[in-house]
Amino acid sequence: MKIVGLTGGIGSGKTTVAIFFKALGVPIYIADVEAKKLMVKNTKLKNKITALFGLDSYQNGELNRKYIANLVFKDPEKLKDLNNLVHPAVAEDFKQWVSAQNAVYVVKESALLFETGDYKNCDVVILVKAPLDERVKRVIKRDNTSRELVMERIYQQWPDEKKESLSDYIIENSDILLTKNLVSNINVKLLNII
Ligand code: ATP
């Protein structure tokens, strides 16, 4: 089975595109969603997170997001440490998930596919793009957040120019119907070349 990596900056429309693939029958794995689940249900990972951040990391079995967000916001090294715990757990979970799928290819959506080096494990990479101001507007609306916080996250990600040369397909996600058609065309191509 082939692995198709799907990535793009915050607010570009990765999840929207992933859902279009799903509607065509392609199994999709959303790394961010699975990471959040693993942080709650994977005991080994939970223990490591507690060892790193203390007992306040969990409250009634739920991840204390505010507490952890506060700590990693103040200390980038701690964010690295957290990522170093979560990424291997997600990689292992993804491996198991893939082995349970029955399809020509699967789509793995990850915001940091390039930044983590995970793109090297993919057979094909799809990059979703949208104009920066449009992305900021979408995220402010979706998350009810501020421009400053969105920009902070954008600065932590690679610029699109750096990602483009490493991508096999680029989806310019402005007009949603065009995006849907493009996904359908890419699916046909992938089914034929893979
Ligand atoms: P993140 O990195 O934060 O997970 P993402 O890249 O997965 O973001 P989405 O969640 O798919 O992005 O899209 C961000 C928001 O923009 C959503 O509310 C979505 O409905 C909306 N959106 C996606 N594509 C378009 C589009 N072409 N036109 C207008 N709105 C869009």
- What local confidence, expressed as pLDDT, does residue 90 receive? 96
Give the mean model confidence (pLDDT) for residues 35-57.
96
112-157 pLDDT, tens digit per residue, is 999 999 999 999 999 999 999 999 999 999 999 999 999 988 998 9
Can you spell out the DSSP letters for the chain?
-EEEEEEESTTS-HHHHHHHHHHTT--EEEHHHHHHHHHHH-HHHHHHHHHHH-GGGEETTEE-HHHHHHHHHH-HHHHHHHHHHHHHHHHHHHHHHHHT--SSEEEEE-TTTTTTTGGGG-SEEEEEE--HHHHHHHHHHHHT--HHHHHHHHHHSPPHHHHHTT-SEEEE-SSHHHHHHHHHHHHHHHHHH-
Ligand 1 within 6 A of CB of 154: no
Predicted pLDDT at 136: 97
Question: Is residue 69 exposed (0-12), middle (13-18) or buried (19+ Cβ within 10 Å)?
Answer: exposed
Q: 7 CB less than 6 Å from ligand 1?
A: no
Tell whether ligand 1 has an atom less than 6 A from the beta carbon of residue 110: no
User: Is residue 10 within 6 Å of ligand 1 at its C-beta?
Assistant: yes
Which amino acid residue places its CA nearest to atom 20 of ligand 1? Answer: 16
Confidence of residue 77 (pLDDT cuts 50, 70, 90): very high
- Ligand 1 centroid to Cα of residue 144, in Å, is 13
- Domains of the chain plus CATH, in order, are 1-27+105-194 (3.40.50.300), 33-100 (3.40.50.300)
Mutate to test the pocket of ligand 1, among 10, 29, 138, 153 (most ligand atoms within 8 A of CB): 138
Q: How far apart are CA 112 and CA 35, in angstroms?
A: 13
**pLDDT attached to residue 133:** 96
For residue 81, how far is its CA from the centre of ligand 1 (angstroms)?
28
Amino acid 20: pLDDT:
98
